[in-house]
């Protein structure tokens, strides 16, 4: 049964609205970019087909950044998932309906070495985890277990104008070596982007790649222009300051991209799931200091979901909020 168009969708009732097929109400609160991609009739048809045989949707994970909520629901059979990005005015900017695809072989393989997050202070995991609802990198083998880290204060990543890098709490913060090793690649001369703009020609931006034992390589990327404190060939110890956080490359706002891989070529490598020194594994929404999780919610559900789905995609809509989704 299609719902009345004047009904109001909120974060609290979204799962029930979708189950009750109040698709008109949901569609009406999607942003214009979404509506340009999909008509109301198309959305109703696809959503109704997705809803088949579902008896319940349960909120599995919620995280908030810059007053925008990232939320995922799963059905009672754990066969399907819905992910939305909804702002403080209940405008839906992203709606993702799909079965859950995992890569069990690579998910089981952790790094032989133990690592720390390349940070000193308290940071927030914007993207991270072993499913693409909490980590958009997951779909790509070269960066499947990568992390994007930002700094927040009172729920936002910046103060005053969002168009100035210096206004972001992460900008100019120290970046550290995640483990002992030898620096084998440094890129330091790329300009920092104006927030909201990206440099697609140099996706990683300024970066440092460190060679570790057991043929493992770490990379920290999107570093600040000319902030590197190490050179190729330098030996580093875990926790040494190696650069500053910037906004270079395919980055919409200042943040750190961190991953471990089986090759120094980040364009053709395989990303490796990271084994952290404290035995814990941060995911999206966690507040961390080094590898210690200071705030963690939904872990039990997240772990269960990460190993459940394994069927073909049904639907993928990803309209973006400018400057709120990192690369």
What pLDDT score was predicted for residue 79? 85
pLDDT in tens, 157-189: 999 999 999 999 999 999 999 999 999 999 999
Backbone angles phi, psi at 322, to 5 degrees: -60, 135
pTM exceeding 0.85: no
Q: Is the pLDDT of residue 72 over 70?
A: yes
- Tell me what the mean pLDDT of segment 191-220 comes to: 97
| Average pLDDT score, the chain | 87
Q: Flag whether pLDDT at 314 surpasses 80.
A: no
Residue 149 has a CB neighbour count (10 Å cut-off) of 26
Q: What is the pLDDT of residues 130-148, one digit of tens each?
A: 988 889 899 999 999 999 9
Domains present along the chain, CATH in parentheses: 14-101 (3.10.450), 104-296 (2.70.70.10)
pLDDT in tens, 246-294: 999 999 999 999 999 999 999 999 999 999 999 999 999 899 987 777 7
Taking the mean position of all CA atoms in its chain, how far away is CA 123? 14
Nearest Cα residue to 309 out of 12, 101, 115: 101
Residues of the chain above pLDDT 70, percent: 88
Q: To 10 degrees, the CA torsion angle through 102, 250, 259, 81?
A: -20
């Amino acid at each position: 049964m299609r719902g009345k168009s004047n009904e109001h969708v909120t974060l609290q009732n979204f799962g029930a609205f979708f189950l009750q097929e109040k698709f008109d109400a949901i569609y009406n609160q999607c942003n214009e970019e979404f509506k340009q991609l999909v008509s109301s009739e198309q959305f109703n048809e696809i959503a109704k087909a997705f809803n088949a045989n579902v008896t319940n949707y349960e909120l599995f994970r919620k995280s908030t950044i810059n007053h925008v909520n990232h939320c995922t629901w799963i059905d009672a059979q754990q066969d399907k998932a819905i992910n939305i990005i909804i702002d403080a005015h209940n405008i839906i900017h992203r709606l993702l309906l799909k079965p859950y695809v995992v890569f069990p072989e690579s998910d089981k393989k952790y790094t032989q070495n133990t690592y720390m997050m390349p940070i000193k202070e308290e940071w927030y995991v914007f993207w991270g985890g072993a499913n693409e609802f909490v980590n958009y990198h997951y779909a790509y083998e070269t960066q499947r277990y990568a992390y994007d880290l930002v700094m927040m204060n009172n729920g936002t990543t910046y103060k005053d104008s969002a168009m100035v890098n210096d206004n972001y709490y992460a900008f100019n913060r120290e970046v550290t070596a995640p483990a002992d090793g030898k620096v084998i690649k440094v890129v330091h001369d790329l300009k920092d982007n104006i927030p909201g703009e990206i440099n697609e020609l140099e996706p990683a931006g300024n970066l440092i790649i460190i060679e570790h034992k057991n043929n493992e390589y770490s990379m920290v990327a999107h570093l600040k222009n000319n902030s590197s404190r190490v050179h190729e060939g330098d030996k580093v110890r875990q926790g040494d300051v190696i650069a500053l956080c910037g906004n270079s490359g395919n980055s919409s706002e200042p943040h750190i991209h961190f991953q471990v891989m089986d090759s120094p070529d980040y364009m053709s490598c395989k990303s490796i799931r990271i084994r952290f020194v404290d035995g814990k594994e941060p995911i999206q929404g966690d507040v961390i200091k080094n590898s210690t999780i200071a705030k963690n919610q939904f872990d039990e559900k997240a772990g269960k979901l990460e190993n459940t789905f394994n069927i073909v995609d049904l639907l993928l809509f990803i309209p973006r909020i400018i400057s709120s989704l990192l690369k």
